[in-house]
């Protein structure tokens, strides 16, 4: 709760994960298990700036109650920023995967009002040194432990074509050409969501019994231990609507 702009998520309102910006402009990554109040996560103490491109990285390890460069962390423009740890309800030590993969919203709410580019979601922990080494590079779709990646450069298709989670635009969401950071363009009043279509039941039928985790992996390539979700979001510009009186 309290999110005003979801960057990326797989959350159905009770279970899953969300990487977002809260009402005070702080970056959060949260994991949920059987209840919207049953979560663990971390939140930055500082807020992100308005009207400029920034690079944000988040990693969550729900098996621990502290944040560090090797467990749970958030980086802004390649720098590890101070975060506070939080938990609620049952204080789950692992998340339960549920819902659609969405970019720019969470469970069809918390629409991101701005621009998002170069999104990548991984199934394993990524070192901060690796983030710094690749921060200025584009995504190829073949990165190690990559689940899905999107450039949003005139395309909403997954760059990881091995098991692609291609997106479907909803509402007023659009993908456009890459923008130079000094060029200003009008931003829509609301960037709605880009949501992965659920796979047809026939495609999942053969996985439903003995390969439950593989079935989930077919939707998002979920980590087998379901304790780690790592999000790497490149170049995010956050613009809020002027508050109405």
What is the pLDDT averaged over residues 63-71?
91
Report pLDDT digits (tens) over 214-233: 223 223 223 334 344 444 44
Q: Give the rounded percent of residues in the chain with a pLDDT score beyond 90.
A: 49
Q: What is the DSSP string of the chain?
A: --EEEEEEEEE-SSSEEEEEEETTSEEEEEEESSSTT-EEEEEEEEEPPSSS-EEEEEEEETT-SS--TTSSEEEETTEE--EEEEEETT--SS----S-EEES-BTTBS---EEE--EEEESS---HHHHHHHTTSPP-S--TTEEEEE--BS--S-S-GGG---EEE-TT---B----TT---PPPS----EEEPPPPHHHHGGGTTT-HHHHHHHHH---TTS-EEEEEEEEEEE-PPPPP-
Q: Is 60 exceeded by the pLDDT of residue 79?
A: yes
- pLDDT, one tens digit per residue, over 176-198 is 875 644 333 333 333 333 433 33
Asked whether the predicted pLDDT for residue 143 surpasses 70, the reply is: yes
pLDDT at 188: 36
pLDDT of residue 138: 83
* pLDDT of 230: 44
CB hemisphere CA count around 231 (13 angstroms): 27
**Average predicted confidence (pLDDT) for the chain:** 76
The confidence score (pLDDT) of residue 3 equals 55
State the pLDDT at residue 216. 30
Is the pTM higher than 0.85? no
């Amino acid at each position: 709760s309290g999110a005003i702009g979801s960057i990326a998520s797989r959350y159905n309102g009770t279970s899953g994960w969300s990487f977002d910006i809260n009402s005070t402009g702080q970056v959060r990554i949260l994991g949920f298990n059987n209840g919207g109040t049953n979560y663990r996560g971390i939140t930055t103490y500082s807020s992100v700036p308005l009207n400029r491109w920034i690079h944000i990285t988040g990693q969550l390890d729900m098996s621990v109650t502290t944040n560090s460069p090797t467990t749970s962390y958030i980086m802004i423009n390649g720098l590890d920023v101070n975060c506070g740890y939080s938990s609620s309800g049952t204080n789950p030590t692992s998340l339960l995967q549920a819902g659609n993969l969405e970019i720019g919203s969470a469970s069809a709410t918390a629409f991101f009002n701005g621009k998002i580019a170069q999104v990548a979601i991984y199934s394993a922990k990524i070192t901060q040194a690796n983030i710094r080494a690749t921060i200025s590079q584009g995504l190829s779709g073949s990165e190690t432990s990559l689940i899905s990646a999107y450039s949003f450069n005139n395309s909403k298709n997954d760059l990881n074509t091995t098991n692609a989670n291609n997106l479907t635009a909803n509402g007023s969401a659009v993908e456009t050409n890459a923008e130079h950071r000094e060029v200003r363009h009008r931003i829509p009043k609301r960037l709605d969501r880009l949501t992965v279509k659920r796979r047809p039941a026939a495609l999942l039928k053969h996985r439903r019994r003995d390969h439950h985790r593989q079935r989930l992996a077919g939707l998002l390539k979920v980590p087998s231990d379901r304790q780690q979700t790592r999000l790497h979001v490149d170049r995010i510009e956050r613009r809020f609507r002027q508050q109405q009186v």
